[in-house]
Amino acid sequence: MFKKLTLIASGLFFASLFSFAQDLTVTLEQADSLFARQKFTQSFDLYRTLYEEQQYASPAMLLKMAYIKEGLGDITLAQYYLNEYYLATSNDLALQKMEDLADTHGLEGYNHDDITFLFNVYYKNYNWLLIGLIILTAGVFIFVLYQRFRLHNKPIPSTIFLAVLLIGLFYLVNFGKDYDKGLVVKNNTFVMSAPAAGADVLDVLQKGHKVEILGEHDVYSEIIWNGEKVFVKTRDLRPLTIW
């Protein structure tokens, strides 16, 4: 009886999974068809449904969304999807395009220094780093077992090293793709000296600027602006993510 219930549950799961994938494919094909016929607004609506409701995004889809938004004059969202495309592909041409748009429209946060370059290299090779760390951790684990049960030694240094690797692997899997950048998505965003309505207004930002997000304080986010730690309303920011 239990085996039958398990088979039925498994069948329902895979059927729903197949149905979801089929629906996603159909929606993507419809959006691509509309895009090819230059019906950009309609195609973007479908792409946005995939992106926001079904949590799906391919590099090609992100690039098309950026193209549509640039054509419609929404530079903020064009930059947003270009940045998402770059994080998904590490294509340096996307960096150049973002810098060109930023220069044209007077937007801050898109210049790339040596530190940014190192972070970009890290994100570009994240999957390889993860695979390498998994292989190394597995190898050290096998070596510890070999020392303990075949050689009858107490592999204290190897065990400590294994523990360090496991901590590193845990961090890389759970936090390694955290990306602390976001875009200002609302015009006339107040830059405050503290996370409080009565704090001093230090600046007023227009949408499109890219900023570093340090954390949240109630309804405010702490960011870096002009080299200083300041605060803006969280609702006025859109965090960037890594797919």
Query: Residue 114's pLDDT is what?
Result: 65
Per-residue pLDDT, 201: 94
For 105, the token pair is 């429209």
pLDDT of residue 14: 43
Q: Yes or no: say if 199 and 187 are a contact pair by the CB < 8 Å rule.
A: no
Cα 44 to chain centroid, rounded:
20
Tell me, what's the pLDDT at 234?
A: 95
How confident is the model over 85-116, as pLDDT tens digits? 987 887 889 888 999 999 999 999 887 766 66
What are the pLDDT digits (tens) for 1-38?
A: 544 444 444 444 444 544 545 668 889 999 999 999 99
Beta-carbon count within 10 A of 81 CB: 25
Give me the residues of the chain with pLDDT under 70, please. Answer: 1-23, 113-117, 242-243
Rounded CA-CA distance 10/236 in Å is 43
Tokens 């949240």: give the residue: 216
Residues 44-74, buried b or exposed e (16+ Cβ, 10 A)? bebbeebbeeeebbebebbbbbbbbbbeeeb
Secondary structure letter of residue 212 according to DSSP: E
Note the pLDDT of residue 12: 44
* pLDDT reported for residue 74: 94
